[in-house]
């Protein structure tokens, strides 16, 4: 990948595309590239929906190659939700296809002078940008069907639904999976609103005629990839738990640990947990059957295959296998124990283009405000539909938990830097609380997944209920995560990497054999640090200070049942996380 596609949506005479060399960005990929471009080219104090913000879509360093698990993609911008830098990550097919076309990034710049919608088509012959207002307010599913009818079945799509068009801060960007369904989302931080502000409804990618990217040393690359795959398959998490039960395998685990946020983070355990657990979900999917039901990859080259396909009782496709964070967000956090209802909400979120974590947290806040009773699945479904309609209430809900809490007068709103917390209560898993508080991204479990050590004992065991060791744990995981996000690798490779030194070495060998570099483990660490430093500096210039690296104060005051514990890591300790 040796070029950057820049599309100026505000050019005189209409949108213009040009191709730049990588220049100073050579050697960057994924999150490393999105954060580098945003940090250098976006004014930190600009309005996120202004022409000065940029949306950067970047495959990873290994995307487009035959390296296993290398199909993740990063989306970067200044976030409408947090006001800071944002990288949202997704699976699906577009990353590999853009990599094979030679694009290290697509950068959407400027803003249309008229209120028009555009579609962008990219193939080996170049780029075609067309105005198409017939796409206005289409959901992602109908939109993709239109693109298939126009461009054929061998494409991939990057798109926004109604929420992105309305520029709502909870809006996601959809990436199509292997079946050309818009089920993989760069969800966090309102990236869909930024795409909407650029007037781009959909980017269609066609890599016909292009081959996989060639490694610098094919023999060493093949051998390293073989070792890497073997390591993934032999680890109990990536080789057994995730393929069998999907990410929702965590529901019973986190509930048993007393850290499953229930009814807007009031409790640490949910009585209806078993009904929506990964075990129950897998059994339901296997019983109902259907192609790709309980085990499925989100992109070609996926070895872990933690996804699946959810069909209703009559065998009709509903959505992809609902992931743990989504099951929690629309399940236990709202007091709902009905898998079919949760799957229906997930389908609506994907169609409208909404972050499932943000929406679930928002609905729970609305329930606490009295708009519905906890456990009322139909009320939750109706609230999501309000967002799709663009009603006054829908626009409030689609703007996220923080805005909804302010409008409805709710004091207990689980957000950091304006972004909703995911499916782990920081009182029951103290390490993830450190990550929530101090991540450059706002509350984000993937930024430094301390659950791995606190609960699963991967890479060593740290007591989840004690503040001891949590700052160092979160710091190290945030550094490692930033580096992994730059490669295009799925974050779930972290489980075997943390436990199996030979698998970590195989990954380094894979990168070196592909790129011709001679990286060491220390170099990978330095890569992660350099990314975090850029992000941190951007946030400081945007006005986010140490005082924003805090959990809401009720986590220090309200005890969480069943352990009856508060968040114990002090603010002084939180301020040490980024001292590296």
Cα separations in angstroms, 577 against 422, 448, 570, 572: 20, 11, 12, 10
Q: What is the DSSP string of 427-451?
A: TTSHHHHHHHHH-TTSS-GGGS-TH
Strand residues in 91-192 grouped as ranges (E): 103-109, 118-123, 126-131, 156-159, 173-175, 184-186
Residues 165 and 254 reside in one and the same domain: no
Residues 401 and 316 reside in one and the same domain: yes
Burial 329-343 (b: 16+ CB within 10 A, else e): bbbbbbbbbbbebbb
User: Is-contact 350 144, C-beta < 8 A?
Assistant: no
**Domain annotation covers residue 578:** no
Beta pairing class for 126-131 and 156-159? unpaired
Residues 10 and 144 reside in one and the same domain: yes
Return phi, psi of residue 21, to 5°. Answer: -75, 165
Burial (CB < 10 A; 0-12, 13-18, 19+), residue 552, is buried
Residue 109, both tokens: 């710049």
The pLDDT assigned to 293 comes to: 63
Residue 280, both tokens: 């129950």
Residues 252 and 324 reside in one and the same domain: yes
* 3 state DSSP class of 121: strand
Q: Which among 177, 205, 233 is the end of a domain?
A: 205
User: Is-contact 81 170, C-beta < 8 A?
Assistant: yes
The pLDDT assigned to 351 comes to: 98
Cα separations in angstroms, 402 against 37, 113, 203, 312: 28, 31, 30, 33
**Domain annotation covers residue 553:** no
Q: Which among 445, 539, 460, 535 has a CA at the least distance from the CA of 492?
A: 445
**Domain annotation covers residue 488:** no
User: Is-contact 86 78, C-beta < 8 A?
Assistant: yes
Query: 186 lies in which domain range?
Result: 3-205
Residue with tokens 């192609």: 291
- Please state the domain count of the chain: 2
Residues 200 and 272 reside in one and the same domain: no
Residues 266 and 192 reside in one and the same domain: no
The pLDDT assigned to 302 comes to: 79
Radius of gyration of the chain (CA): 22
Residues 199 and 285 reside in one and the same domain: no
What is the rounded distance in angstroms from the CA atom of residue 561 to the CA atom of residue 549?
25
How much is the pTM?
Answer: 0.97
Q: Which among 378, 398, 424 is the end of a domain?
A: 424
The pLDDT assigned to 571 comes to: 97
Q: Provide CB contacts within 8 A for 539, sequence distance 6+.
A: 44, 84, 85, 440, 548
Residues 51 and 196 reside in one and the same domain: yes
**Domain annotation covers residue 513:** no
Residues 196 and 252 reside in one and the same domain: no
Residues 173 and 282 reside in one and the same domain: no
**Domain annotation covers residue 444:** no
Which parts of the chain have pLDDT scores under 50?
none
Q: What is the chain's percent helix, strand, coil content, to nearest 5?
A: 45, 15, 40
What is the rounded distance in angstroms from the CA atom of residue 286 to the CA atom of residue 308?
10
**Domain annotation covers residue 484:** no
**Domain annotation covers residue 219:** no
Residue 322: CATH number of its domain: 1.10.569.10
pLDDT in tens, 204-216: 999 999 999 999 9
**Domain annotation covers residue 562:** no
Residues 135 and 72 reside in one and the same domain: yes
The pLDDT assigned to 348 comes to: 98
Q: Which among 424, 449, 482 is the end of a domain?
A: 424
Residues 125 and 174 reside in one and the same domain: yes
What is the rounded distance in angstroms from the CA atom of residue 133 to the CA atom of residue 127?
19
Residue 481: CA count within 13 A, CB half-sphere: 25
Torsion of CA 104, 175, 385, 306, to 10 degrees: -120
Residue 195: CATH number of its domain: 3.60.9.10
What is the rounded distance in angstroms from the CA atom of residue 317 to the CA atom of residue 309?
8
User: Is-contact 335 303, C-beta < 8 A?
Assistant: no
What is the rounded distance in angstroms from the CA atom of residue 333 to the CA atom of residue 361?
7
User: CA angle at residue 184 from 240 to 25, to 5 degrees?
Assistant: 100
The pLDDT assigned to 299 comes to: 66
Beta bridge pairs of residue 227: none
């Amino acid at each position: 990948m040796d070029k950057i596609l820049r599309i100026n949506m505000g050019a005189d005479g209409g949108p213009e595309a040009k191709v730049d060399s990588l220049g100073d960005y050579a050697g960057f990929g994924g999150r490393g590239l999105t954060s580098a471009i945003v940090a250098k080219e976006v004014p930190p104090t600009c309005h996120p929906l202004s022409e000065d913000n940029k949306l950067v879509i970047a495959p990873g360093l290994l995307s487009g190659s035959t390296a296993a698990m290398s199909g993740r993609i990063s989306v970067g911008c200044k976030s409408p939700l947090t006001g800071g830098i944002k990288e949202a990550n997704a699976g699906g097919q577009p990353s590999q296809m853009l990599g094979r076309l030679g694009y290290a990034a697509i950068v959407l710049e400027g803003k249309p002078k008229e209120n028009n919608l555009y579609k962008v088509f990219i193939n080996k012959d170049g780029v075609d940008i067309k105005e198409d207002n017939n796409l206005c307010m289409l959901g992602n599913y109908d939109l993709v069907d239109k693109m298939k009818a126009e461009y054929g079945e061998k494409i991939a799509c990057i798109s926004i639904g109604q929420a992105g068009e309305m520029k709502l801060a909870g809006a996601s960007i959809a990436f199509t999976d292997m079946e050309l369904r818009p089920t993989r989302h760069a969800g966090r931080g309102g990236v869909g609103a930024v795409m909407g502000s650029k007037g781009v409804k959909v980017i269609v990618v066609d890599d016909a005629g292009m081959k996989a990217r060639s490694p610098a040393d094919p023999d060493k690359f093949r051998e390293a990839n073989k070792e890497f795959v073997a390591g993934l398959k032999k680890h109990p998490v990536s080789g057994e738990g995730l393929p069998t039960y999907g990410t929702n395998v965590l529901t019973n685990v986190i509930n048993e640990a007393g850290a499953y946020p229930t009814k807007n983070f009031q409790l640490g355990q949910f009585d209806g947990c078993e009904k929506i657990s990964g075990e129950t979900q897998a059994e339901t999917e296997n019983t109902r059957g259907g192609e790709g039901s309980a085990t499925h990859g989100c992109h070609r080259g996926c070895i872990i295959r933690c996804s699946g396909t959810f069909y209703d009782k009559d065998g009709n496709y509903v959505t992809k296998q609902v992931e743990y964070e989504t099951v929690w967000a629309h399940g236990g956090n709202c007091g709902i124990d009905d898998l079919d209802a949760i799957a229906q909400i997930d389908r609506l979120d994907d169609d409208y283009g909404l972050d499932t974590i943000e929406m679930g947290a928002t609905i729970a806040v609305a329930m606490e405000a009295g708009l519905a009773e906890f456990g009322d699945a139909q009320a939750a479904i109706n609230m999501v539909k309000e967002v799709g309609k663009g009603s006054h209430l829908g626009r409030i809900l689609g703007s996220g938990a923080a805005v909804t809490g302010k409008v409805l007068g709710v004091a207990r709103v689980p957000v950091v830097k304006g972004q909703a917390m995911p499916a782990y209560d920081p009182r029951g898993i103290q390490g993830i609380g450190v990550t929530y508080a101090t991540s450059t991204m706002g509350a984000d479990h993937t930024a430094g997944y301390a659950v791995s050590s606190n609960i699963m004992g991967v890479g060593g065991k740290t007591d989840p209920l004690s503040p001891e060791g949590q700052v160092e744990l979160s710091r190290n995981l945030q550094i490692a995560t930033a580096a992994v996000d730059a490669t295009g690798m799925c974050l779930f490779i972290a489980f075997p990497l943390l436990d199996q030194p030979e698998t970590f070495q195989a990954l380094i060998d894979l990168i070196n054999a592909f790129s011709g570099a001679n990286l060491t483990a220390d170099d990978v660490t330095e890569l992660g640090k350099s990314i975090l430093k850029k992000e941190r500096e951007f946030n400081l210039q945007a006005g986010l200070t140490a005082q924003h690296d805090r959990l809401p104060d009720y986590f220090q005051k309200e005890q969480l049942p069943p352990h009856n514990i508060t968040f114990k890591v002090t603010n002084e300790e939180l301020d040490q996380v980024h001292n590296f």
